[in-house]
Structure 1
Amino acid sequence: MSARPRRTTLSTIAASAGVSVATVSKVLNGRSDVAPATRSLVRSLLEQHDYVPSSARRTGDTTIEIQVDGMCAYAAGIVGGTVEAGADSGVSVAIAIKKGPAGGGTAWARDLVSAGRQAVITIAEHPTPAQLAILSRARLPVVVIDPLDLSDTSVSSVGPTNFTGGLIATRHLLALGHSRIAYLGGLATALSSQARLHGYRAAMEDAGVPVLPDYVRTPGFCYAHGVEGAGVLLDLRPAPTAIFAASDECAVGAIHAAKARGLRVPEDLSIVGFDDSEIASMTSPKLTTMHQPLREMGIVALRTALRLAAGERIESAHVELATELVIRESSLTA
């Protein structure tokens, strides 16, 4: 039987750098009383040895970090639920704006552990296998909200019923008498977008209404994607009379693209979004949309992260929360 590889210790790093363990500890903790050249050498050795401190050695208050790309209305709803659940549980929630893909390898995991995090929650972005290995070695659990991929069942995740939401949204437009219904938004590679698109296609197929190839556009979830994608759709002949957008931001972009062409919403074009974020009731007309339980998703993610940090077993790797249609002013009978 081969021996288990020895874990790199602070003593190993200190010996390689020719400094004391205390000096290495100061570098790890971000102390300023270390010479720049020594700090650079120690950091280089930490990277070389792939060193990540064990989260089990940390003491003090429990802190969970939630990472977001930016504080849009969608993210704000989730973060609000996470912070609320943290306050109820006596847990601190740190909010971090990501500057690129989730994390940065060993340094990312080490920084999380050194900062005293007990778990990390990330929105949509799935850590790479290498990052997951680092987090596992550091005993730092991760929970993904509305993941782009569900194939890795070792990662806990929380999301909405995307397929059902797409199905209900499209059935609403069909019930209003629309048949030229387009699907707009979401990345083609994003699991949530794929599921919403499949729901849209299923509703159209059940109603015996063909889906024209040009009526499906998946540029992304943002406002600019809605403006651009809806512009292409509305310039088609025949143009759609209704659009199901994969996000509220995308739907608002579609509203503005329609108005720029002299079209009235909902008289000339009905639009349904997905999220029910704050902007859904702030736009004109107010947006008919699929309510995605953003606050509840944040709460479930926080509670899941705490259970994982405590070493508890999670019954289901992925938890789905129900979506429901909220009818406002942007959809009308054809």
Structure 2
Amino acid sequence: MKTSRSESVDSINFLGEAFLRIHALSCEIPAPSFIGSAVALVSQSISSRSAWWGLVGRGCNEVTPTIYKKELIALPADFEERWLPISAQDTFAKEVESRIGEVCAFSTDENYGAPGKTKEVQDYCRDYDLAHGVSILLSEPFTRNHFFCTLYRGQGARPFDDIEMAYFGQLMRYTLEIWRENLHRMLSVAAAESVHLSGIADRDGRIVGIGGGLCEFISVNWPGWSGGTLPHDLVQLFSDAPCRTRLGGRTVEIGYFGSYLHVSLAQDGHGFVLSPKERAIAHLFAAGRSYKEISRAIGLSPATVRTYLQRIYAHLGVNNKIQLGKVLVPDATDGRGEGVQPS
């Protein structure tokens, strides 16, 4: 069916307004809380009844996915718990997983039935009034997990149409990109380069965001871990933050990230672990920035930056900027710039 010019203009206006509202949210809300607010906005804009989103992964021998972080919108707390045991029967979920980056949709009859839907899945849809749905699974290279979002409508509502599916896909991609950029700005340079080895949680250990590398580390050392909340062994260290400790054969750093806690695995290998601020200063200096430039970027005086660098040089056992660059990036080729030692 051919779309009229007025319908095309309306679609462009709708999408443009939605982009502006999401951008405005990103300016008002810190990165850790942004995605949930953006999904709620998109859900409302496309007139869905309920929604959920999260970060998900699946090990090579796992039948059911592990949802490391989730947020429910107008859905009861047991929604995920009841879905996981029947997830292997959920043909729609399998379709979404097999078509990464594509928008998928489903629709049921008045009894919540559909071709290929088992009785267990049909009963589940009936209990939560999931008559129609639209979903997308996106690769998230920043954290090395996958991001998913699904919107639902109940009985009596119409299915999601092609235009709404297109809106949804574009808005979710934009939301994820904005979140990634904001998180990168909030983290130090070095921390932003290793987000997959870190996580952000509230003071009770509830996960706000988490990278695939930290997920793997936790899964190996706490085999019963199922996501949602960090293991108790990590959470009990929050009262000592900022701190560094050895757990599971790795150096774990815990520091503040606004009102949240930032947990990361150190990429040291030199017997000394740089704090996020020290890593940021070291990377900027190795990249050729002056004391004054670093002081403006970090918010310290040039003299304090010099003191930090002297301590970093001593602990890492390096004598100049070239050696510092090689230590920070072990696989780098010959350094650029002069070999200057802080004095």
Q: Give TM-score, length-normalised by structure 1.
A: 0.25
Which has the bigger relative contact order, CA under 8 A and spacing at least 6?
Answer: 1
Q: Give TM-score, length-normalised by structure 2.
A: 0.24
